[in-house]
Amino acid sequence: MVDNAIELDHTTLGTAWFLAARAMVVAGGSEAMHKQSAGGLYAQAVLGLTEDECIQAKDPAQVSNLTLVDCFSILEGMPRDVGEKILTGLLMLSFMDRKISPLETRLISVVASALDMTQKEVEECCLSARVLADVLAPPGLRQQFAGKSLDGKASASS
């Protein structure tokens, strides 16, 4: 593996996060408001961005000319630990409604490829994301999906 990590400032990190997170929210197609809120909490709590940095990262002047291809280019040069946090956050957003759409799966695959992650590393991110999805989900959403597996059906233990 070639280490092509770039030095990341918080605006670039925030911009990459919010572009990828918005794509994941759209790919999921439901519970968008809850997922957007969780994405903002994740940016601050896990990625270490301040409220002002989040606002700056989402500023139309910052993102209006950027595409997902630009986002993947930024991700490709991220330090490994930051990339793992990004992927974990995206998985968390996907897991919040207990189902994963084909588009969400494709997005995760592309991000994992951009980060040059192995299947084992992605699986480790999935474990962390499951816990975070339950913690950051608003109480109403948590109750709505309690006892359901990731396919949205009742789990065998409920």
| pTM of the predicted model as reported, rounded to 2 decimal places | 0.80
Q: What CATH code is carried by the domain that includes residue 88?
A: 1.10.3680
Considering the chain, what percentage of its residues have pLDDT values greater than 90? 48
In a domain, 4, yes or no: no
In a domain, 16, yes or no: yes
The answer to the question of residue 149 being in a domain is: no
Is residue 97 included in any domain, yes or no?
yes
DSSP-assigned states of every residue in the chain: ---------HHHHHHHHHHHHHHHHHHH-S-HHHHHHHHHHHHHHTS---HHHHHHHH-HHHHTT--HHHHHHHHHTS-HHHHHHHHHHHHHHHHTTT---HHHHHHHHHHHHHTT--HHHHHHHHHHHHHHHHHHS-HHHHHHTTTB-TTSSBPTT-
* Number of domains the chain contains: 1
Give the pLDDT confidence score for residue 74 in this predicted structure: 92
pLDDT 10s digits, 39-70: 888 999 999 999 999 999 888 888 889 999 99
pLDDT digits (tens, 9 = 90+) for 95-140: 887 778 899 999 999 999 999 999 999 999 999 998 888 777 666 6
